[in-house]
Amino acid sequence: MAAEEWTIAEHANRYLALADSVPHRAEGEGVLSEQVPRDARRILDLGTGDGRLLALLQVDRPETLGMGLDFSELMLEAARKRFADDERIELVKHDLAQPLPALGRFDVVSSMAIHHLEHERKRALYGEVFELLEPGGVFANFEHVASANHRLHLAFFAAINEPLEHEDPSDRLLDVETQLGWLREHGFDDVDCYWKWLEMALLVGVKPHELR
Ligand SMILES: C[S@@+](CC[C@H](N)C(=O)[O-])C[C@H]1O[C@@H](n2cnc3c(N)ncnc32)[C@H](O)[C@@H]1O
Protein backbone atom coordinates (compact mmCIF):
# COMPACT_ATOMS: atom_id res chain seq x y z
CA MET A 1 0.00 0.00 0.00
CA ALA A 2 1.35 3.46 -0.82
CA ALA A 3 1.64 5.84 2.16
CA GLU A 4 1.62 2.96 4.60
CA GLU A 5 3.75 4.97 7.05
CA TRP A 6 0.49 6.68 8.06
CA THR A 7 -0.60 3.40 9.63
CA ILE A 8 2.49 3.39 11.89
CA ALA A 9 1.94 5.11 15.26
CA GLU A 10 5.41 6.65 15.51
CA HIS A 11 5.07 8.34 12.10
CA ALA A 12 1.49 9.55 12.63
CA ASN A 13 2.22 10.86 16.15
CA ARG A 14 5.39 12.62 15.03
CA TYR A 15 3.42 14.44 12.33
CA LEU A 16 0.68 15.45 14.75
CA ALA A 17 3.22 16.73 17.31
CA LEU A 18 4.96 18.92 14.71
CA ALA A 19 1.97 20.04 12.63
CA ASP A 20 1.54 23.37 14.42
CA SER A 21 5.19 24.30 14.15
CA VAL A 22 5.50 24.26 10.34
CA PRO A 23 6.44 27.84 9.41
CA HIS A 24 3.78 29.87 7.57
CA ARG A 25 1.28 27.03 7.73
CA ALA A 26 -1.33 29.03 9.63
CA GLU A 27 -1.05 31.77 6.98
CA GLY A 28 -1.85 29.34 4.15
CA GLU A 29 -4.66 27.71 6.13
CA GLY A 30 -6.08 31.18 6.79
CA VAL A 31 -6.19 31.94 3.06
CA LEU A 32 -7.86 28.57 2.47
CA SER A 33 -10.51 29.43 5.04
CA GLU A 34 -11.19 32.76 3.28
CA GLN A 35 -11.94 30.89 0.04
CA VAL A 36 -14.47 28.45 1.48
CA PRO A 37 -17.99 29.94 1.61
CA ARG A 38 -19.08 30.89 5.13
CA ASP A 39 -22.50 29.41 4.38
CA ALA A 40 -21.16 26.07 3.04
CA ARG A 41 -23.77 23.39 3.75
CA ARG A 42 -21.33 20.45 3.78
CA ILE A 43 -17.53 20.33 3.60
CA LEU A 44 -15.57 17.22 2.62
CA ASP A 45 -11.94 17.00 3.82
CA LEU A 46 -9.75 14.56 1.86
CA GLY A 47 -7.03 12.95 4.02
CA THR A 48 -8.38 14.64 7.13
CA GLY A 49 -5.78 13.29 9.57
CA ASP A 50 -6.86 14.32 13.07
CA GLY A 51 -9.41 16.73 11.58
CA ARG A 52 -7.23 19.83 11.92
CA LEU A 53 -8.69 21.57 8.85
CA LEU A 54 -12.33 20.72 9.60
CA ALA A 55 -11.86 22.14 13.10
CA LEU A 56 -10.38 25.34 11.67
CA LEU A 57 -13.26 25.74 9.20
CA GLN A 58 -15.83 25.14 11.94
CA VAL A 59 -14.71 28.31 13.74
CA ASP A 60 -16.49 30.57 11.22
CA ARG A 61 -19.06 28.01 10.08
CA PRO A 62 -20.85 26.68 13.15
CA GLU A 63 -23.80 25.43 11.07
CA THR A 64 -21.74 23.54 8.47
CA LEU A 65 -21.63 19.76 8.40
CA GLY A 66 -18.20 18.22 7.85
CA MET A 67 -17.03 14.87 6.57
CA GLY A 68 -13.42 13.71 6.89
CA LEU A 69 -11.96 10.87 4.84
CA ASP A 70 -8.74 9.09 5.73
CA PHE A 71 -7.37 5.58 5.35
CA SER A 72 -5.33 5.55 8.55
CA GLU A 73 -7.14 4.09 11.54
CA LEU A 74 -4.65 5.93 13.81
CA MET A 75 -5.51 9.28 12.28
CA LEU A 76 -9.23 8.55 12.29
CA GLU A 77 -8.99 7.68 15.98
CA ALA A 78 -7.30 11.04 16.68
CA ALA A 79 -10.08 12.78 14.72
CA ARG A 80 -12.75 10.82 16.61
CA LYS A 81 -11.24 12.09 19.86
CA ARG A 82 -11.16 15.67 18.59
CA PHE A 83 -14.80 15.54 17.47
CA ALA A 84 -16.20 13.35 20.26
CA ASP A 85 -19.84 14.41 20.81
CA ASP A 86 -19.76 16.73 17.79
CA GLU A 87 -22.61 15.51 15.61
CA ARG A 88 -21.73 17.90 12.80
CA ILE A 89 -18.68 15.85 11.84
CA GLU A 90 -18.68 12.42 10.18
CA LEU A 91 -15.47 10.43 9.74
CA VAL A 92 -15.17 7.80 7.03
CA LYS A 93 -12.39 5.32 6.35
CA HIS A 94 -11.47 5.54 2.69
CA ASP A 95 -8.32 5.03 0.64
CA LEU A 96 -8.01 7.95 -1.77
CA ALA A 97 -6.16 5.67 -4.16
CA GLN A 98 -9.65 4.31 -4.87
CA PRO A 99 -12.45 6.30 -6.53
CA LEU A 100 -14.43 8.53 -4.17
CA PRO A 101 -17.65 6.91 -3.02
CA ALA A 102 -21.01 8.61 -3.75
CA LEU A 103 -21.29 10.80 -0.68
CA GLY A 104 -23.52 13.63 -1.91
CA ARG A 105 -22.64 17.25 -2.67
CA PHE A 106 -20.00 19.33 -0.88
CA ASP A 107 -17.45 22.09 -0.94
CA VAL A 108 -14.17 20.15 -0.85
CA VAL A 109 -10.91 20.85 0.99
CA SER A 110 -7.70 18.98 1.62
CA SER A 111 -4.49 19.68 3.49
CA MET A 112 -1.12 18.03 2.90
CA ALA A 113 -2.65 14.74 1.78
CA ILE A 114 -3.16 14.44 -2.00
CA HIS A 115 0.59 14.59 -2.64
CA HIS A 116 0.77 11.03 -1.28
CA LEU A 117 -1.12 9.77 -4.35
CA GLU A 118 0.48 8.78 -7.64
CA HIS A 119 0.23 11.56 -10.21
CA GLU A 120 -2.38 9.87 -12.42
CA ARG A 121 -4.53 9.25 -9.35
CA LYS A 122 -4.24 12.93 -8.33
CA ARG A 123 -5.46 13.88 -11.80
CA ALA A 124 -8.43 11.48 -11.67
CA LEU A 125 -9.28 12.54 -8.11
CA TYR A 126 -9.53 16.19 -9.19
CA GLY A 127 -12.17 15.09 -11.72
CA GLU A 128 -14.07 13.16 -9.05
CA VAL A 129 -13.96 16.22 -6.77
CA PHE A 130 -15.47 18.32 -9.59
CA GLU A 131 -18.40 15.89 -9.74
CA LEU A 132 -18.99 16.11 -5.97
CA LEU A 133 -19.04 19.91 -5.85
CA GLU A 134 -22.19 21.96 -5.63
CA PRO A 135 -22.49 24.32 -8.63
CA GLY A 136 -20.46 27.35 -7.51
CA GLY A 137 -18.70 25.09 -5.00
CA VAL A 138 -15.03 25.49 -4.11
CA PHE A 139 -12.17 23.00 -4.10
CA ALA A 140 -9.29 24.27 -1.95
CA ASN A 141 -6.22 22.08 -1.72
CA PHE A 142 -3.49 23.19 0.68
CA GLU A 143 -0.68 21.04 -0.58
CA HIS A 144 2.94 20.00 -0.39
CA VAL A 145 4.16 20.66 -3.95
CA ALA A 146 7.41 20.07 -5.80
CA SER A 147 10.21 22.60 -5.86
CA ALA A 148 11.66 23.72 -9.18
CA ASN A 149 14.91 21.84 -8.48
CA HIS A 150 16.73 19.73 -5.92
CA ARG A 151 18.56 22.70 -4.41
CA LEU A 152 15.23 24.35 -3.59
CA HIS A 153 13.92 21.04 -2.24
CA LEU A 154 16.85 20.93 0.19
CA ALA A 155 16.22 24.58 1.07
CA PHE A 156 12.60 23.77 1.95
CA PHE A 157 13.61 20.99 4.33
CA ALA A 158 16.17 23.31 5.92
CA ALA A 159 13.51 26.03 6.29
CA ILE A 160 11.10 23.68 8.09
CA ASN A 161 13.98 22.44 10.22
CA GLU A 162 13.56 18.80 9.17
CA PRO A 163 16.36 16.50 8.05
CA LEU A 164 15.79 15.14 4.54
CA GLU A 165 15.81 11.60 5.99
CA HIS A 166 12.42 12.45 7.50
CA GLU A 167 10.90 12.98 4.07
CA ASP A 168 7.84 10.72 3.70
CA PRO A 169 8.71 7.78 1.46
CA SER A 170 5.19 8.09 0.06
CA ASP A 171 5.58 11.73 -1.03
CA ARG A 172 4.83 12.10 -4.74
CA LEU A 173 5.47 15.82 -5.07
CA LEU A 174 4.24 17.54 -8.21
CA ASP A 175 4.66 21.10 -9.46
CA VAL A 176 1.90 23.66 -9.14
CA GLU A 177 1.50 24.39 -12.87
CA THR A 178 0.69 20.80 -13.83
CA GLN A 179 -1.92 20.53 -11.12
CA LEU A 180 -3.54 23.87 -12.05
CA GLY A 181 -3.65 22.66 -15.66
CA TRP A 182 -5.50 19.50 -14.60
CA LEU A 183 -8.04 21.53 -12.63
CA ARG A 184 -8.73 23.67 -15.73
CA GLU A 185 -8.98 20.52 -17.89
CA HIS A 186 -11.66 19.15 -15.57
CA GLY A 187 -13.72 22.33 -15.99
CA PHE A 188 -12.88 24.31 -12.86
CA ASP A 189 -13.04 28.12 -13.05
CA ASP A 190 -10.99 30.71 -11.14
CA VAL A 191 -8.13 28.23 -10.99
CA ASP A 192 -4.97 29.60 -9.46
CA CYS A 193 -2.37 29.19 -6.78
CA TYR A 194 -3.86 31.51 -4.12
CA TRP A 195 -0.93 31.30 -1.71
CA LYS A 196 2.54 29.76 -1.73
CA TRP A 197 5.61 29.51 0.48
CA LEU A 198 8.40 27.30 -0.88
CA GLU A 199 6.83 23.80 -1.14
CA MET A 200 3.50 24.67 0.47
CA ALA A 201 0.82 25.94 -1.88
CA LEU A 202 -2.90 26.56 -1.92
CA LEU A 203 -4.50 25.41 -5.19
CA VAL A 204 -8.07 26.51 -5.72
CA GLY A 205 -10.75 25.94 -8.35
CA VAL A 206 -14.46 26.73 -8.45
CA LYS A 207 -17.15 24.69 -10.18
CA PRO A 208 -19.03 27.00 -12.55
CA HIS A 209 -22.72 27.59 -11.84
CA GLU A 210 -23.51 26.87 -15.48
CA LEU A 211 -21.63 23.94 -16.99
CA ARG A 212 -20.27 24.62 -20.46
C1 LIG B 1 0.40 15.08 6.35
S2 LIG B 1 -1.03 14.30 6.95
C3 LIG B 1 -2.21 15.65 6.85
C4 LIG B 1 -3.39 15.44 7.74
C5 LIG B 1 -4.35 16.62 7.83
N6 LIG B 1 -5.02 16.85 6.58
C7 LIG B 1 -3.63 17.86 8.28
O8 LIG B 1 -3.58 18.84 7.54
O9 LIG B 1 -3.11 17.86 9.41
C10 LIG B 1 -1.50 13.29 5.55
C11 LIG B 1 -2.79 12.55 5.77
O12 LIG B 1 -3.18 11.93 4.54
C13 LIG B 1 -3.62 10.63 4.82
N14 LIG B 1 -3.45 9.82 3.62
C15 LIG B 1 -2.29 9.56 2.94
N16 LIG B 1 -2.55 8.76 1.89
C17 LIG B 1 -3.88 8.50 1.91
C18 LIG B 1 -4.74 7.71 1.10
N19 LIG B 1 -4.29 7.02 0.05
N20 LIG B 1 -6.06 7.68 1.40
C21 LIG B 1 -6.54 8.36 2.47
N22 LIG B 1 -5.78 9.12 3.28
C23 LIG B 1 -4.46 9.19 3.01
C24 LIG B 1 -2.76 10.17 5.99
O25 LIG B 1 -3.31 9.09 6.68
C26 LIG B 1 -2.68 11.43 6.81
O27 LIG B 1 -3.75 11.54 7.72
Q: Ligand 1 centre from 72 Cα, in Å? A: 8
Q: What is the pLDDT of residue 5?
A: 82
CA-atom Rg of the chain in angstroms? 16
Q: Is 136 helix (H, G, I), strand (E, B) or coil?
A: coil
Cβ count near 61 (within 10 Å): 21
Ligand 1 contacts CB of residue 12 (under 6 A): no
Q: Which one, of 73, 140, 129, 74, lies nearest residue 99 by Cα?
A: 129
Q: Ligand 1 centre from 112 Cα, in Å? A: 7
Q: Which one, of 57, 113, 112, lies nearest residue 89 by Cα?
A: 57
Q: What is the pLDDT of residue 21?
A: 82
Ligand 1 contacts CB of residue 3 (under 6 A): yes
Q: What is the DSSP letter of 133?
A: B
- Cα–Cα distance measured from residue 5 to residue 149, given in angstroms and rounded to the nearest whole number: 26
Mutating to test ligand 1, I would choose from 75, 114, 160, 168 the residue with most ligand atoms within 8 A of its C-beta, which is 75
Q: What is the pLDDT of residue 97?
A: 97
C-alpha distances out from residue 2 to 18, 98, 116, 117, Å? 22, 12, 8, 8
Cβ count near 2 (within 10 Å): 16
Mutating to test ligand 1, I would choose from 111, 116, 122, 200 the residue with most ligand atoms within 8 A of its C-beta, which is 116
Q: Ligand 1 centre from 171 Cα, in Å? A: 11
Q: What is the pTM of this model?
A: 0.95
Ligand 1 contacts CB of residue 108 (under 6 A): no
Q: Ligand 1 centre from 111 Cα, in Å? A: 8
Residue nearest to atom 27 of ligand 1 (CA): 49
* Cβ–Cβ under 8 Å, residues 48 and 78: no
* Cβ–Cβ under 8 Å, residues 115 and 171: yes
Task: Give pLDDT tens digits along the chain (212 positions).
Answer: 556 788 888 888 888 888 888 999 999 999 999 999 999 999 999 999 999 999 999 999 999 999 999 999 999 999 999 999 999 999 999 999 999 999 999 999 999 999 999 999 999 999 999 999 989 999 999 999 999 999 999 999 999 999 999 888 889 999 999 999 999 999 999 999 999 999 999 999 999 997 65
Q: What is the pLDDT of residue 212?
A: 59
Q: What is the pLDDT of residue 74?
A: 95
- Cα–Cα distance measured from residue 39 to residue 52, given in angstroms and rounded to the nearest whole number: 20
- Cα–Cα distance measured from residue 88 to residue 115, given in angstroms and rounded to the nearest whole number: 27
